[in-house]
Structure 1
């Protein structure tokens, strides 16, 4: 799995105005459709909500890692969104989320790819130095490098 195919600068959005979890999911789905990761935006949004019902993907420190798997997703991808203002996400620490790192994986590659991506991202973002870059940098290449290791 080539990491440069999973996250590219055009999948990174800095200081955007989405003001709710719903708006954030709509933004991710819109970009995923535009970049040919998915066929139908509604299916991806529904998959994100299905996962959130299991347990919140907001794990604290202003970070959330929503993830979706379904047969409408054509190829694995990561989408990074830094929100201007934090949004309610039902995060484990009760705080709003400002950094959203969304993972999407086709159902046929779901088990290995999904767990590999989720593990890699989670391991990276628990590091304070990585959190600082993701929270403050205006350089998409630097964000990409920090996130993907």
Structure 2
């Protein structure tokens, strides 16, 4: 049995994140990833995310953003999830604010094909409006992960 989306999320999830800006959310997520040993340097990883954000919008539609950072300070591929208690301004495709962030964490070295498959499955799952609505309305971590597993075919 290969890794699942939830194997990549582990404890890197907060469904009640109190942040006011995109940068604050991304910095707090970087800090959480450092605390969990996923990245070795939160500041370097945060800068990698900002560099990627500058290239093009990571805000999708319907309140969801999928930013990502690729860096050699990443110890393991991971997905961090934040659901915010207030709407965040984000450069999204539909121009609407964001409430749900899936941060893709990618190591520069030792990239794993399975991780890329999981990340593409996550992106595909998040294009479904019913999945988006379920995730946006779910506040329980266990149930949230079950929705993701089902949606991602994991």
Normalising by structure 2, we get a TM-score of 0.88
1:87-106 to structure 2, matched below 5 A, reads 87-106=88-107
C-alpha offsets along residues 7-43 of structure 1, whole Å, 9 cap, x if unaligned? 12x2221132111011111111111001000110111
Query: Which runs of 5 or more structure 1 residues have no equivalent in the other structure?
Result: none
Number of aligned residue pairs: 148
C-alpha offsets along residues 113-147 of structure 1, whole Å, 9 cap, x if unaligned? 56423311111112222112211112211211222
Higher helix share: 1
Following TM superposition, by how much is the alpha carbon of 1:5 offset from its aligned partner in structure 2, in angstroms? 2.8
Q: Provide the aligned C-alpha RMSD in A.
A: 1.6
- 1:113–1:26 Cα change, 3 Å: farther
Aligned partners of 1:103 and 1:117 also within 8 Å: no
Query: Which runs of 5 or more structure 2 residues have no equivalent in the other structure?
Result: none
**Match of 2:142?**
141
Is 2:7 aligned against 1:5?
yes
**Match of 1:128?**
129
- 1:2–1:49 Cα change, 3 Å: same
**Match of 2:22?**
21
Following TM superposition, by how much is the alpha carbon of 1:112 offset from its aligned partner in structure 2, in angstroms? 3.4
Normalising by structure 1, we get a TM-score of 0.91
Structure 1 segments, 4+ long, off by >3 Å, are: 109-115
Relative contact order higher in (CA < 8 Å, ≥ 6 apart)? 2
- Output the CA distance in 1 between the equivalents of 2:114 and 2:3: 11
